[in-house]
Amino acid sequence: MAELIDPWASFSLDYDKLVNHFGIGKISDILKDIENPQKLMKRGVIFGHREFDEINKLINQNKDFAVVTGMMPSGQMHIGHKMVVDQLLWYQEKGAMLSLPIADLESYAARGMSFEKAKEIAVDEYLTNWIALGLDLERDNVNVYLQSQNPELQKLAFRASNKTNFSQLKSIYGFTPSTNIAHIQSPLMQVADILLPQTEEFGGPKKVVVPVGIDQDPHIRLTRDIAHKLNEELGFLTPASTYHRFLTGLSGDKMSSSKPNTAIYLNDDSKVAAKKVKSAKTGGRESLKEQQELGGEVDQCVVYELLLYHLMDDEKELEKIRNSCLNGTLRCGDCKALASELMEKFFDELKDKQIEAREIAKTLI
């Protein structure tokens, strides 16, 4: 029997095992067909997909498709979240409609967050930084909304709930008879979020892609099943998805908004962000002598991950660092100093853009 992935709990790092368990396709198998692939696809950070080949065909034919990615406003936005924004930038360049739900109903159900506070966090943390990172959220084909203020979404969630039952939700999420009903409802809101771009209001049925971490796959599987069942009634198509690796936290655990020692927050000061890089766990050996003899453990290194995911665009430079780490000629101190300098520069540029971005963000919801 396939194991459960609980989207509200911790996560597994065995990506290959999960791909095999859940029948997810490998991005590496279709990479050659993608024109100018997104950096994270080339680097294997986006490792899996369901039906992304269909989306790729639409991109190549200049046809309509939509991208959905939600945010649950529960805390500060950290640098790991930037990964999704980088993907959205790529899709926006390819002409996609962007549908960006703010899951305030989910944060109410899962975290007890008031709607007012959720809206404040969505504006200050998420929308401001999404704009500062380069997304144009004022385009006509961008839809940003709060779940609690979208009657169409609620209607769609109700229709979706008519196509599932407790047994199915229990088998996907592991719900028990004592699970709170709001908690049971929240995946159905997410199903509706993913299906919303296919409604008449947005031009009718179309292919949608959802870029997510593997922990969100239960929602994708449920949505695909319900979309299939709604096909006859509403003509909906099954949504596609891509799966990316998580950015490891500074201490070596998952990066989490609620654990300050694991995360670099996008609202951190640039000097603080640079200092945090220096505190990150590396794949360095116990002693310099050992490092020179054995080389560093580059794939266990948080500093290298920061370079790979966010700080270094130049493939050759990155490869040089990887090789010098592996052959023991690069010292962790020098490597950290470089990453820290790049992080400070990135944050200095981000700070300049955040002020104007915040003003735009306030007008969106």
What is the closest distance, in whole angstroms, from the C-beta atom of residue 213 to ligand SF4 in the complex?
Answer: 23
Contact 113, 334 (CB under 8 A): no
73 counts as binding ligand SF4 under rule CB under 6 A = no
DSSP state of 180: -
Which range touches ligand SF4 (CB under 6 A), out of 47-55, 104-112, 141-149, 300-308? Answer: 300-308
Residue closest to 284 by CA, chosen among 271, 296, 266: 296
Residues of this chain, 102-121, that bind ligand SF4 according to CB under 6 A = none
Give the span between the Cα atoms of 297 and 328, in whole angstroms. 10
Judged by CB under 6 A, the number of residues near ligand SF4 is 13
SS3 140: coil
Applying CB under 6 A, which of residues 46, 160, 301, 361 lies at the interface with ligand SF4? 301
Side-chain-facing half-sphere of 147: CA atoms under 13 Å: 29
Q: Which residues ranging from 130 to 159 are in contact with ligand SF4 (CB under 6 A)? A: none
User: According to CB under 6 A, which residues from 335 to 354 bind ligand SF4?
Assistant: 335-336
State which of positions 319-338 bind ligand SF4 (CB under 6 A).
325, 330, 332, 335-336
The residues that bridge with 68 in the sheet, in sequence order, are 99
Stretch in the footprint of ligand SF4 (CB under 6 A) among 31-39, 49-57, 82-90, 297-305: 297-305
Instruction: Tell me the β-bridge partners of 102.
Output: 71, 146
Q: Please, which residue, 208 or 308, has the CB nearer to ligand SF4?
A: 308
Strands (E), 190-268: 208-213, 240-244
One of 146, 284, 309, 354 touching ligand SF4 (CB under 6 A): 284
Indicate left, alpha or beta for 159 from its phi (over 0: left) and psi (-120 to 50: alpha).
alpha
Minimum Å gap between C-beta 253 and ligand SF4 is 17
Q: Kindly state the smallest distance separating residue 272's Cβ from ligand SF4, in Å.
A: 20
Judged by beta carbon, residue 179 or residue 300, the one nearer ligand SF4 is 300
CB-nearer residue toward ligand SF4: 213 or 284: 284
Q: Which of 73, 211, 213, 296 binds ligand SF4 (CB under 6 A)?
A: 296
Q: Are strands 46-50 and 25-26 parallel, antiparallel or unpaired?
A: antiparallel
DSSP annotation string for 162-188:
TT--HHHHHHHH---TTS-HHHHHHHH
DSSP E strand boundaries for 87-126? 97-102
Given 66, 298, 311, 357, the residue binding ligand SF4 (CB under 6 A)? 298
Instruction: Considering only residues 223 through 282, tell me which ones interact with ligand SF4, judged by CB under 6 A.
Output: 282
Q: Shortest gap between Cβ of 307 and ligand SF4 (angstroms)?
A: 8
Nearer to ligand SF4, 318 or 360 (CB): 318
Pinpoint the alpha helices (H) of the chain.
15-22, 27-30, 39-42, 52-60, 82-93, 104-111, 115-121, 128-132, 151-161, 166-173, 181-195, 217-234, 270-278, 288-294, 302-306, 315-326, 332-362
Closest to ligand SF4 by CB, 119 or 276:
276
For the chain, give the longest Cα–Cα distance. 68
Q: Summarize as ranges the residues that interact with ligand SF4 (CB under 6 A).
A: 282-284, 296, 298, 301, 303-304, 325, 330, 332, 335-336
